[in-house]
Amino acid sequence: MAALLWGPSMSAFSTARLKMVDGQVRTSDVTDIRIVDAMLEVPREAFVPENKRPLAYLDLDLDVTEGGSARRFLIKPMVTAKMLQAAEIKATDTVLVVGCATGYAAALVAKLAGQVTATETDPALAAKAKEVLAQLGLGSVTVRTADPAEGVRTARPTMSSSSMARPRSCRTGFTVSLRTAAGWSGVFAMTQPQRATIVIRSHGVLGNRVLFDAAAPVLPGMERRPAFVF
């Protein structure tokens, strides 16, 4: 099965994956060995178009769309890893991945959580995610076509493979949110400047704390709305 995905270059991709983890992830204070192991194991090149696979492990937001579909990105490996670590995903968690694109973030989360549901607006990308996740044997991930905001309305644990603009209300958009004993916690990227921020709802009360600077593409449909400012 792996040979069908990556062919004779699999060894070169494995070397690039190791360099990505050593040079981008470990050096960014990502100390959760489960995340490190997941990023070493999941083949990022399998989630990008074939003509872009040589770029799969570079430190950049990688456009994975083809044709006329709205642009979707796999965000930088370092940002992905740091958000996963901040989310503190447990093996017993059920996680919703919002705007999953081709499914890379969902695959990583599947290595950390119990059950994963991934949503994607673009049917073609959702189909690609289903195909690759099935080939990798990640049967714990369910992929469906849905609007980015739908996951937040479900009040289920949530993660996204692209960033969303900071919402007017914290209930309307997240990059990562995970369940806690008293509700949920989350991480999302804000704009001007963008920062990854953890948001926690406990007993109906929302609070947030900035974690780190994190510039990333915004999910289509979740852009910050223009507003008049004095």
Q: Can you give the residue ranges of every domain in the chain?
A: 2-213
Question: Which pLDDT score, from 0 to 100, does residue 60 have?
Answer: 93
Of 11-20, 58-67, 114-123, 212-221, where does mean pLDDT reach its minimum?
Answer: 212-221
Bridge partners of 160, per DSSP, are 98
pLDDT for 159-214, tens place per residue? 554 444 343 333 323 344 555 444 555 666 554 567 777 777 677 777 777 888 87
Question: Which pLDDT score, from 0 to 100, does residue 52 have?
Answer: 93
Pick left, alpha or beta for residue 189 (phi over 0 → left; psi -120 to 50 → alpha; otherwise beta).
beta
Q: CA 153, 154, 155 angle in degrees (round to 5)?
A: 90
The mean of the pLDDT values for the chain is: 77
3-state secondary structure the chain: CHHHHHHHHHHHHHHHHHHHHHHHHHHHCCCCHHHHHHHHHCCHHHHCCHHHHHHCCCCCCEECCCCCCCCCEECCHHHHHHHHHHHCCCCCCEEEEECCCCCHHHHHHHCCCCEEEEEECCHHHHHHHHHHHHHCCCCCEEEEECCCCHHHHCCCCEEECCECCCCCCCCCCCCEEEEECCEEEEEEECCCCCEEEEEEEECCEEEEEEEEECCCCECCCCCCCCCCCC
The Cα 135–Cα 146 span in angstroms is 22
Is residue 1 predicted with pLDDT exceeding 50? no
Confidence of residue 220 (pLDDT cuts 50, 70, 90): low
CATH topology of domain 2-213: Rossmann fold (3.40.50)
Is residue 102 predicted with pLDDT exceeding 90? yes
Nearest to 143 by CA among 170, 122, 165: 122
pLDDT for 32-68, tens place per residue? 999 999 999 999 999 999 999 999 999 999 999 876 6
Question: Which pLDDT score, from 0 to 100, does residue 6 have?
Answer: 47
Nearest to 79 by CA among 181, 2, 186, 189: 189
Task: Give the residue with greater pLDDT, 105 vs 96.
Answer: 105
User: Which tokens in the block code for residue 186?
Assistant: 């989350």
The share of the chain scoring above pLDDT 90, in percent, equals 40
Contact in structure between 104 and 38 (CB atoms under 8 Å):
no
Question: Which pLDDT score, from 0 to 100, does residue 125 have?
Answer: 92
The share of the chain scoring above pLDDT 70, in percent, equals 68
Question: Which pLDDT score, from 0 to 100, does residue 181 have?
Answer: 44
Q: CA 225, 227, 230 angle in degrees (round to 5)?
A: 155
